[in-house]
Structures are given as C-alpha cells and as structure tokens.
Structure 1
Amino acid sequence: MRIADSLEQILTPTAIALGNFDGIHRGHQKVLQPVLQLSHHAGSYNYPTVVSFSPHPREFFTGKKLTLLTPVAEKAQLLEQLGIKQLVLIPFNQQLASLSPQQFVAEIIVKQLKAIAISVGEDFCFGYRRQGTAKDLVAIASEYGIEVQINSLQQCDYQQHHHHGVRISSSLIRQALQIGDIAHANYMLGRAYSLTGTVVQGQQIGRTIGFPTANLDLPPNKFLPRYGVYAVNVSYKQSQIRGVMNIGCRPTVDGMNPTIEVHLLDWSEDLYGQTLTVSLEKFLRPEQKFPSLDALKKQITADCQAART
C-alpha cells in the first residue's frame, strides 16, 4: 500500500474513491467496488486509489482533535486487504477549503490526480462550504470525460436491534460503540472492531492477583469504545487467542488515566514490545469499583469464564 501525503507523490493515472472513509464499513466498501472492478479490467493501467483529507475537514474548521475508528495506518492496512493500491491524503488547508467545486475538479481531480474514473457516496459534498453535490461532480467531471459513479447509501437491517433500513455510517458505529453495543457496531463494519497497539509495561497489579495483563499503547487518535470489560479475540503473529479486555481507569486500584489491558486466556509468553490486534466480540460489563482485590479477582474469574463461553 502506497500512502501519499502530498500531491507530488501520487502514482497516476488513478481510478479514485473520494471520501473520508473512517471505519471502512460496509457502506464504504460499496463505494470502493467500482474502483476495484475498473482496476481489474484495466490491469496495470491505473492505480485503484482512495482519496481522503488530512486533517479531517471537521478537525480543520473546529480546531478540535478527532478520534478515529481507523487512524491512517489501520485504514491503509484495511484498504490494502480490499485491493486498494494507494491512499492519497490531500493536505486540507484554507487554500483547499476555498476552492469552488469547479476549481476542485480542475485543479485536484484532473491536474493532480489525473483521474480516469470516480466513485462517491450519494451524500458526498465538496468545494467551498460543501457547495458541490455528487450530482454536481457528475456534471463537472463529464466536461473532462471523467465518469462518476454515485453509490446509494448502504442500509442496515439488523433484526436483533430492530434497526430496519437504517443508514450505515461512521457516526452510528461510534454511537453503538459508546453504549457497548458491539454486535451492532460489528455488523455495520462488516468485521469486528479492533484495537492495535504495542505491549508496554504497566503497574503489574494483574500479575499479583493471578491475572497478568498486556497493556496496550494505542495511537492517540484511536476511538475508544465504552469503558468496561469485553470478551475479545487477540491476534498475535499467527495465533488467535481468546481473552478479556478492560478499558478504563481501574477505580478499584485508584487508577487516574485510562488504560487498555488484555488478559490472554491460557497464555504465558512474554509479550513486551510486541504488537497485538484485539478484536471486540462482546461487552461483558461496565467498569466498576470493587471493595477489595479479592472481590475484583472473583469478578475477573467470572469474566474469563464468560469469555470462554
């Protein structure tokens, strides 16, 4: 996967999917399909490319840092798995924000990206104050002989939670994760929501009560789900290991800052410095303060049993 963070680094010509694509959920995957299909038919003639913006336009205009479902490295990995060859991160600044829809197509799409085809969602907006719509993009791009495919918004028909015909979106996935509705979030994503980080040394309190944990150091802009305890699957090298993860401030031991700690079931190897990917399977319980370490140990034992089953 090639990541280009300046327009001078782009491999052209390109078939491009335009958007922020945070999460690479089922709806995003639908927008990617036309680009991948065109690349398959055209062979090496073009580079199937996702074009996003850095920073996120909302972050630029509000001045507030956003947490993301898929930070850049994770996004690139997921896109590569789907067959995308290039991720272009266009620097979002005042100059770019000031371009009219017509200027954006002429300067960015045609001159810089040398696009031969474009795929967008039907809610795509672009140009100064988001004045350009997907239909405007079709009209403007046609003047340059560029075909644009508009993809309808993916709908969610998740029976268990009675969400019939609800649009799949990154914001809805965040909402589901914030309340611990992992099944619904994973359904919209088309895969388990995961956290990838490096194992660092913690306070080793878990080890003293018989439940050693791997403390994960995550990208600072990674979106965290609801604080609490989860049943998880852990990917380490070629192994898949069941586990229990706690996200939170560990009130029983007077923790101050949030940590991500994973106890791997039936595992005893040293993991310091290793990279783990933790996939969330089920929210088991919210974070709580226990009267003693013995009470905490008893609850963790129950959590581990719940994770096994």
Structure 2
Amino acid sequence: MRGRVAQRSRTPCDPLALDMTRHPNQSEPAPAPHKALDAALPSAHPFIVARDPLAPPPGLEGAVVAIGNFDGLHRGHRGVIAHAQALAQKVGKPCALLTFEPHPADCFAGKSIIFRLTPPDAKAALLARLGLDGMVILTFDKDFAARPPQEFTQEILRKRLGVSAAVAGYDFCFGAKRAGNPEFLRSEGERLGFIVEIVPRITQDEAGSLEAVSSTATREALAAGDVALATKLLGHPYFVEGVVTRGRQLGRTLGFPTANIALDPSNKLRHGIYAVTLEADGVVREGVANFGRRPTVEAEGAPLLEVFVFDFDGDLYGKTVEVAFIGFIRGEAKFPSLDALTAQMRDDAAKAREILAARHTAPSS
C-alpha cells in the first residue's frame, strides 16, 4: 500500500538564510535537500560550466567571481556567494564560482583522501539553484600549486577570465607556499584594475561557544554522526546521491526491503542508523537507513547505504536518488541472530518516524 508523499516545495526563499527543513507550522515532509534551492533566484539562462578556459567563457565576460573550494556550500560559503551576487547585481555583471579540482589535499596525497561533501556535479546543481550564472573549474596539480600568487591574479583572474571583481573568504590563500592572502589579493586588485572584497568569518553558536563554519567542522560532525550539527553548519541536511542497485534481498525477506546505494569510499559518515528522506523522480519520501558494513550478515564488505522507505512498494532499482540524513539513531552493531536484528530494525524504524515527525510539530524558537 502506498503512503502519502510530498512534492517539493516551491515557496520563495533567501539563499543565504536558507534552511531546508520545513517550518514547524507546515505539515508536509521537507523537500529534498538541494532540490529546495529550485525556488531560490532562478536564472533565465543556462548554467555555464567551464574547465581551464583560456579566455572568458561566453556568458561570463567580466564576471564577479567567488573564489574557493566551497566543498559543502555551507553557510560560510553561502555568505561569500551572496556577497558576490550582490556585488554582481550592483555592477551589472554575471556572477560565477571559481573553484579547483581535484581538492588540493587529494592532489598532494596522490589519491582521494578528502571526505567530499559536494562532488563537482552536485556543486554545479546547487550553484545553479542559488542563481549563479556559472562555475569555472581550474585543474589543481603540484605545478599549479607551485606558481607564484602573482601568476594567479595576473594571468588567470585578469587575462584569462577578465574578472571585474573577486570575492573571497577571510581565510583564502593561494599560490606557492600559500603566499597569496586576502591583503595580497586586495593589493593585486588595485594594481590590475578589478574590485576585491573579503568576507569575514561566519560563526555558528553551538552549546554556548562560537565555532567557525567550515567544511572541516562539517566533516568532523558527520564522522561523529552528529547530523544535527552538520545541518546547522550547512544550512540544510547533509545529503548523498547515487544509483539504487540490487542487493541480496535479505531485507525484503526480513520485512524491510531496502534501496541499496554504494557511496564513494572516501565518505567518512559515521556507520550507523539514521532517520532519512529519499527523493526520487521529484517526490520526497521518509525512511530509515543503515550506513555501514552490516556485521550481522557479512563478515566483511564495503560500506553500503541501505534505505527502507516507509509505506512504499514501488520499484527504485536503477534510479538516481538523493538521501538526506535528518537524525542519528544509533551506531552500527552486530546481533546474535536475524530475529534479534529484525526486532532492532522495528525499533529503529519507530524511532526514525518519531524523529521525522518531530520536524513538523516542534515549536518555533
């Protein structure tokens, strides 16, 4: 029997202050995490993605660029982006993100070691929904890292991209030995004829202390299973995207059929049980998920995300879905029998329903 599901919300929202959990006085489930950005500053033009351009990409001539890695597009990142958007509107120019791939830490390690919060495709989709005109990706390698900071400002910003303005966060550094800092960028802007604006640190008040909003803090929160803190830092629930694959069908045998999604090996989300939402084909459903190695049924195995969708009997195999992590229930555990596992799964599902229902009934603060 199919349960009630909610279509994505289309109400207008402020991209900087965007909180993708539904307001307590609304009864429908929250929209999928980045799909909610569909309502924010829609653009009449296609989103432009350019990699290593030698000249200003068509449509991004004289752009105002926000510069950085922007992994996660957390509240601090959105502060920089909103600043760049306001400046672009003021000077009548397009607005784009200037970012780097692969992540510098991966480059120096020679392999993927960073827990990426938003891979390039997800980042582009989020930026388009935030209303940016495009994203410029520069290949980051050891040669790029060894170049003097003047080469970045003069050859890339001024000559290749022809920017009218550059906006960066307070901690942005670039060039050999990270010699390029905000003050250097300001002086180069004056020398080369483009505007430079630096956005100060944005902090998150958590348990009475002020913490810098950062990708590192978000990764640490997720590694600890603290998805509530990650949501505060990001401004929306942490989410992953993947294709549903066929598993061993054991969950179906136990009465809990699951949608199985393999995540990138670099994903360091704490193994355990979570209350989640799953978006497929534009429809958001609620459920409970296990992320881990399933120690009760397999001695070894790669981490897998298994989502049991409440009140749903449809077919998700082969579909690309988004799973948002709303609440942490417990860590992964090994049980003495399948009966014990099944009993615990019932308890987990009940707790997940409580967590998800609380989003719609909690009093506003």
Compute the TM-score of the two structures, normalised by the length of structure 1: 0.94
> What's 1:252 paired with?
296
1:192-231 mapped onto 2 (5 Å cutoff): 192-218=237-263, 220=264, 223-231=267-275
**Which residue among 186, 203, 221 is the counterpart of 1:138?**
186
- CA separation in 2, counterparts of 1:55 and 1:163? 36
Q: Which runs of 5+ in 1 are unaligned?
A: none
Partner residue, 2:30: none
**What is the correspondence of 1:111-190 to structure 2 with a 5 Å cutoff?**
111-158=159-206, 162-190=207-235
More helix by share: 1
Match of 1:39 in 2: 88
Which of 93, 96, 101 is 2:144 aligned to? 96
Q: Deviations over 1:185-222 (max 9, x none)?
A: 1100000000111111111110111100000134x366
Deviation per CA, 1:102-137: give whole Å up to 9, x if none: 221110110111110111011111111101110110
Contact kept, 8 Å, 1:69 with 1:222, in 2: the verdict is no
Q: State the alpha-carbon separation in 2 of the partners of residues 61 and 262 from structure 1.
A: 35
Contact 2:83 2:199 in 1 (8 A): no
Deviation, 1:62, is 2.4
Output the CA distance in 1 between the equivalents of 2:94 and 2:142. Answer: 28
Change (3 A) 1:134 1:71: same
**How far off is 1:231 after superposition?**
0.4
- The letter of the residue matching 1:51 is L
1:52 to 87, 94, 99: 99
SS at match of 2:201: coil
State the Cα deviation string for residues 231-277 of structure 1 (Å, max 9, x = none).
Answer: 01111223221100100010110142211110000000011111111
Tell me if structure 1 keeps the 8 A contact 2:274–2:326: yes
* Deviation at residue 42 of structure 1 after TM alignment: 4.4
Separation in 1, partners of 2:77, 2:208: 19
Amino acid at match of 1:111: K
Q: Residue type matched to 1:142 in 2?
A: E
More strand by share: 1
The alignment status of 1:68 with 2:116, answered yes or no, reads yes
TM superposition shift of 1:144:
1.7
Distance in 2 (CA, whole Å) between partners of 1:3 and 1:217 is 27
1:5-58 C-alpha deviation (Å, 9 max, x unpaired): 222473322110010000100000011112211333445xx3311111111122
Q: Where does residue 325 of structure 2 map in the other structure? A: 280
User: Is contact 1:71–1:221 with CA below 8 Å preserved after alignment?
Assistant: no
Work out the CA distance in 1 between the residues paired with 2:175 and 2:262: 37
Task: Identify which of structures 1 and 2 has the higher relative contact order when contacts are C-alpha pairs closer than 8 Å and 6+ apart.
Answer: 2
Q: Give unpaired runs (5+ residues) of structure 2.
A: 1-46, 355-365
Q: Does 1:20 pair with 2:69?
A: yes
Rounded to whole Å, the distance in 2 between the matches of 1:92 and 1:118 is 19
Q: Which moved more, 1:100-109 or 1:22-31?
A: 100-109
Q: Distance in 2 between matches of 1:239 and 1:60?
A: 38
Count residues in correspondence.
303
- Report the equivalent of 1:6: 52
Tell me if structure 2 keeps the 8 A contact 1:154–1:168.
yes
For 2:115 and 2:227, how far apart are their aligned partners in 1?
A: 18
Q: Is residue 2:280 matched to residue 1:232?
A: no
Does the CA contact (< 8 Å) of 1:70 and 1:222 recur in 2? Answer: no
Q: Could you tell me how far apart the structure 1 residues matched to 2:211 and 2:268 are?
A: 23
Letter in 2 for 1:211: F
For residues 34 and 118 of structure 1, the distance between their equivalents in structure 2, rounded to whole angstroms, comes to 10
User: Is the 2:149–2:175 contact (alpha carbons within 8 Å) kept by the matching residues of 1?
Assistant: yes
